Every structure is written in structure tokens, then in C-alpha cells.
Amino acid sequence: MKPGIHPEYVECTVICACGNTWKTRSTKPVLHVEVCSACHPWYQGQTAERRFVDTLGRIEKFERRRLASQQAQQQEAAQATTRRRRR
């Protein structure tokens, strides 16, 4: 390894959003994570349940798009029905 080009490798404290902490080594002294093995549903044996780990709001965003799509399809169907009645 060349001297002076690598970051310092120090003892690190990892802190999860659930409150769990542990020590490891990293280039940063403190790491904050949102999910760890103590709170992740897979490690808790909750794979049969419908519990999702969604930190970025992706599920809600998908549900909004799906609802908007369903509403658009219903409106198109209603317009098609009124067009058939006019003929």
C-alpha cells in the first residue's frame, strides 16, 4: 500500500434507528443506519407477515400511481360508455 493515499481505518460505532448499537471498523467514526439485524423483518422471522421496510416512501409512491391509473381507466371506461349511448 502506498503511504499517504489511504483513509484512516478507525474503530466505528454503528447506530441503528431502532436504538441498537455495535462496534466495528470503518473509515468513519460513527455510522447511522435505518435497518439492522435486530429490526429487519427477515431476521426477525416475520417473512410470512406483510411487513415492509420502506425508508424512501417507495411503497406509498407506487400505491398513489396505481390508484391514479385505476381512476384514469375508470374515467376512460365511463367516457366510452357515454360515447356508445350517443350513437
Q: Which residues, other chains included, contact 56 with Cβ-Cβ below 8 Å and sequence gap of 6+?
A: none
> 1: domain range?
1-53
- Alpha-carbon gap, residue 62 to 43, rounded angstroms: 25
pLDDT band at 50 (very low <50, low <70, confident <90, very high): low
For the chain, percent of residues with pLDDT exceeding 70: 79
Closest CA to 16 of 40, 32, 38: 32
Rounded mean pLDDT of the chain?
83
38 and 11 assigned to the same domain: yes
**Mean pLDDT, rounded, for 17-30:** 93
4 and 35 assigned to the same domain: yes
33 and 73 assigned to the same domain: no
| DSSP 8-state symbol, 86 | H
Residue tagged 454503528 (cell numbers): 14
**Mean pLDDT, rounded, for 34-46:** 74
C-beta separation of 29 from 10 below 8 A: yes
